[in-house]
Structure 1
């Protein structure tokens, strides 16, 4: 898969470097280079672009403002993704909020650029993955089929991460973010910009239960329970009054 790209930066040296990196990468195709976000916006009206390597601090229209314009615009089925390139790390959170794929902090080398570009390729390969062939019923006894809801995708660290339900220990809500604790790496939870309510609606209720306004637990990972808490490994998670009735029904099945 080849991704069409443009580079946007008001600094000529930085614009030249990013353009050279794009042309050096086999799966990227440079279709435009612009010294301002205004010029880039005009160019995007006449061509379809997969990835924009976008500086943030620019006159007239900043990279973040351009990203918000693209986020609000109706571009049909095609989605243009952004990789920010900037010398200021304080914009990282803003970049995450406008759904950027990655964030390259200047000065960056080709290895760092390639890592970000590879994330973009993985994203578009996932988006354009062909639909599976329709299932045809045959006279033979049906074989077990893996359920389509055995996993979910989380946007974490500027990429989509596939997380199997059976790998989840519990999920903690932190305002606009969640931390997903997993068996495979319990010391390093995934941090994702979403809400606990959104995840609660996506997760199967037979396997997960919300026990507190800040916690969802995997029922098959619970090691011990009391009237007011659950134990998962070395972690004690409180059960709030709002969820005690549903939790009590769950406990009754243990008895």
Structure 2
């Protein structure tokens, strides 16, 4: 497969070096190079880009700010990111915006190739990964790997600011993933899962009892938020009838 990528760096020598590395890598296809994150964002908005090699310290809009823009809008066409930077203090922030890897300058072609192969494995697995609406499992990012999770084992998903807890049947502790509850909501099929609270998505299969404002999931009782009550009450009507 060919991964469509762009390179973004305001240092001319670094920009050319990474572009040369891309050209040497058979499964990467260079679509463009930019010395401005704003120009890169404009390009991404109108072109298909799978992967971005992104510097962090840049004027106007930093690479981390660009990554947050793409993360916040959760657009399915947004590229994955491999950061290229001289500053190691951004590694944790890179993890929070779901970056595939973090290359610390100066890096060799071997290091670049290792990170690129990580991207290749991600896209190959994504191409063959099941769709939640038609299959019985999804892949969840846990640390720097994708973990297969069976839909039938998910009791509920509990959302926090920067991560979620996925409570699984038969497991003593939840699975932690550095993603958002909104992302989980988009992945889970609507005919088996429902969001009933700003912090909770539940599996309909594990409901023990319900009232007009509370759901008992066995492991905990969850109040239904006002913003989700209308949808939940429609579900109750169908369940009763």
* Secondary structure of 1:45's aligned partner: helix
Given the alignment of the two structures, is residue 118 of structure 1 paired with residue 104 of structure 2, yes or no?
no
TM-score (normalised: structure 1): 0.57
Q: Which residue in 1 is equivalent to 2:139?
A: 153
CA offset at residue 155 of structure 1?
A: 1.7
* Secondary structure of 1:5's aligned partner: strand
Given the alignment of the two structures, is residue 51 of structure 1 paired with residue 51 of structure 2, yes or no?
yes
Separation in 1, partners of 2:163, 2:72: 22
Q: Which residue in 2 is equivalent to 1:85?
A: 84
Q: Which residue in 1 is equivalent to 2:4?
A: 4
Separation in 1, partners of 2:14, 2:95: 22
Structure 2 gaps, min length 5: 152-159, 167-174, 186-193, 195-200, 204-241
In structure 2, the CA distance between the partners of 1:84 and 1:72, relative to structure 1 (3 Å rule), is: same
Separation in 2, partners of 1:72, 1:190: 20
| Higher-Rg member (1/2) | 1
Structure 1 gaps, min length 5: 133-147, 166-173, 181-188, 205-255
Q: Which residue in 1 is equivalent to 2:229?
A: none
Q: Which residue in 2 is equivalent to 1:95?
A: 94
In structure 2, the CA distance between the partners of 1:4 and 1:36, relative to structure 1 (3 Å rule), is: same
Indicate the RMSD between aligned Cα atoms, in angstroms.
4.7
TM-score (normalised: structure 2): 0.60
8 Å Cα contact 2:129-2:138 kept in structure 1? no
Find runs of 4+ consecutive structure 1 residues off by over 4 angstroms.
148-152, 174-180, 189-195, 201-204
Separation in 1, partners of 2:108, 2:176: 26
* Secondary structure of 1:30's aligned partner: strand
User: Any residues of structure 2 matched to 1:63-212 within 5 Å, and which?
Assistant: 63-73=63-73, 75=75, 77-129=76-128, 153-162=139-148
* Secondary structure of 1:123's aligned partner: helix
Separation in 1, partners of 2:165, 2:130: 31
Greater share of residues in helix: 2
In structure 2, the CA distance between the partners of 1:39 and 1:156, relative to structure 1 (3 Å rule), is: same
CA offset at residue 60 of structure 1?
A: 0.6
Separation in 1, partners of 2:83, 2:16: 16
CA offset at residue 72 of structure 1?
A: 3.0
Given the alignment of the two structures, is residue 30 of structure 1 paired with residue 16 of structure 2, yes or no?
no
